[in-house]
Structure 1
Amino acid sequence: MYHDEEQPLSGGNVSAGVVRVGDTVRRPVGPWTPAVHALLAHLHEVGFRAAPRPLGIDDQGREVLTFMPGQVVWPDRFWALEPARRLARVARLIRDYHEAVRDFTPPPDARWQVLMPAESGDIIAHQDLAPWNLVVGDEDQWAFIDWDTAGPGSRLWDVAYAMHGFIPLSAHPDWRRRDAAERLRVFADAYGLDEAERRRLVPLLGRRTRAMHDFLRDQAARGNQPWATLWAEGHGDAWRSDAEYIERREDRWVRALLDG
C-alpha cells in the first residue's frame, strides 16, 4: 500500500515501486545504489544541476532523491518547436555531464548495474541518455533522470545512444526524419566533437543500436523481465531495423559530420 502522500510515478521500463513524496522521489535500492549516490553527489558538488541529488535512504529502505520538476519529453513531439535549438541544448547538456564526471573517482567498492558492457571506458557513463529520461521544466530546469544503470563506459558510447533517440535515427515511418543527417551535424557541433571523434562515432552509431537488439534477445532467452516482455512486444525488431537503417547510411553520416 502507498501512503496517502505518496504518488506513484510511471514511465520507463522499470518504474515499479517508484513514488513521489513531496519534493522527493523514493525508489527501491540495489547493490549499485551506493555507487550511483556517490556519482550524483559528485555531480552536485561540482555544480552540475541537471541530475537528481541523493538524500539518503528512508525508513522503508528506499533511496531518496530530489524530485526534478517538469515533464518527460517522450513520447510527445517535443522537437516540433525550435527543434535545432533544443537538440543543440541536449547535446550541450550531455557534454556538461561528461565534463562534470571526468574527475569523479568511484568508491573502491563500487558496484554498478551493468546491463550492457561498453566497448571502451573513460568515464562513468549514464548509459540511457534518451528522450524518455529527459525532464523539461522551464528554461533553466532540464534534467536527466534514471541513473540506476550508470556505469563504466565512454563519452562516444553515451553520445551514439543519445543521437539515436534524440535525432532520432529511426527506421520507423512515424519517427524517420528526412533531415536526420543535418540534425546529426547539429548535435555533433553543439557537443563539440572533433574530427577524430566524428570518424570513430560513425561506425559506433550502428553498433550501439544493434547492441540494444542483442541485449533484449539475450535477456528474453533467459526470461528476464521486463526485457522478455519488451522483446515479445517487438522492441527487438525495432532496434534491429534501426541498426540496419543506420548502417546502410554510414556514408551519409560521414558526409554530414565531416564535409563543409
Structure 2
Amino acid sequence: MSDETPLHGAGLQDRGLVTVGDTVRRPSGAWSPSVQHLLGHLRATGFTRAPEPLGFDSQGREVLGFLPGHDAGWPMRPRIRTDEGAYDLGLLARQLREALAAYPCPADARWQFVTGAPDPGQAVQHGDLGPWNLLWDDAGAVAGVLDWDLAEPGDPWYDTGFLAWFTVPFMDDERAHARGYPAPPDRPARLAAFAAGAGLTPAELIPIVHRTQSEFARRATTRDGIWRTIRDRGLHESTRADQRWSTRAWEN
C-alpha cells in the first residue's frame, strides 16, 4: 500500500509494523486469530486500552485499531516515576487481571508457544506487560496496552508480577537507571503504592514478583523465537541478577 508509514517502537526487534490510516498492520502468525479473539473479548467487556481487533488484510497481516499515545521514554515520563504513577500501574494490572480472568478461552486456542485454554487455577495473560508495551496520554494516564503476541495461559498473577518488577523496580540501581530511572527510586514507597493499586499488600506482592522472575528465566532458557533474541542479549542473565538482588533486598 502506498499510504503505509513504518511504525517503530521500543521492542527488541523490528517487527514490520506499519500504519495505514487509523489502523496498524503487523505480520501475523498461527497464534494471531486467538489474539484477535482475546482482544475482542477485552474490548467488548470494557477494557478499551487494548487495541481493537480488525481481522486481517489482503496480505494476511493482522489489522488493529491505532491507539494514540506516548511511550515510556528515557528517562521514564515523570508521572511513572511518582508514587501516584506506581499506584496507577498497579491498578492497571488489577483491571487487566480481572478482565483476563473472565475470558472464555476456546479449547482449541493456539498461542505462540502453547495451545489450548487455561488449566484450573490459570488464566490467559498478556505475557509481556512492561512499560515498553504501554502508551500514556498527555495527562500521564495509561492509554494503551500493546503487543499481545506473547499472550498465553499461565499464572494469573504473572502480568502483575512482571509490571511490578519494572515499576518498583525489583533490580539494583544500575539496572534501574538503564531502565529509565535517572535517580535511585524509593522502592519501599513504590512497592506500597503499586501493591495498593493492585489490591495487594507489599508482603503479598513480593513473592509474586519472585515467581514471575523465575518463570521469565525459565521461558528465556527453554524457548526459541523472540526468546532466542532475549538470550542473545543476555537478558536471562539480567533476570537472574534481578532475582538475586530481589531476594537480598526483600528477605526481611
Q: Shorter-chain TM-score: which interval?
A: 0.7 to 0.9
CA distance in 1 between partners of 2:160 and 2:88 (Å): 14
CA distance in 2 between partners of 1:113 and 1:134 (Å): 21
Write out per-residue CA displacement over residues 160-201 of structure 1, whole angstroms, 9 at most, x where no aligned residue. 1110112221125251645112211100111212x5xx6554
Letter in 2 for 1:149: L
Q: CA deviation at 1:70?
A: 1.1
Say which SS state the counterpart of residue 41 (structure 2) adopts: helix
Matched, 1:164 2:165: yes
CA distance in 2 between partners of 1:83 and 1:119 (Å): 37
CA change 1:36–1:191 in 2 (3 A) is: same
CA change 1:153–1:120 in 2 (3 A) is: farther
Residue pair 2:128, 2:150 contacting (<8 A) in 1 also: yes
Q: How does 1:1-260 map to 2 (within 5 A)?
A: 3-10=1-8, 11-79=10-78, 83-114=82-113, 121-139=121-139, 142-173=143-174, 175=176, 177-193=184-200, 199-219=203-223, 224-252=224-252
The TM-score normalised by the length of structure 2 is 0.84
Q: How many residues are paired up?
A: 241
Q: CA deviation at 1:153?
A: 2.2
Residue pair 2:97, 2:157 contacting (<8 A) in 1 also: no
CA distance in 2 between partners of 1:200 and 1:91 (Å): 13
Q: CA deviation at 1:247?
A: 1.3
For the aligned residues, what is the CA RMSD? 2.6
CA distance in 1 between partners of 2:107 and 2:157 (Å): 25
Structure 2 stretches lacking a partner, 5+ long: 178-183
CA distance in 1 between partners of 2:154 and 2:218 (Å): 18
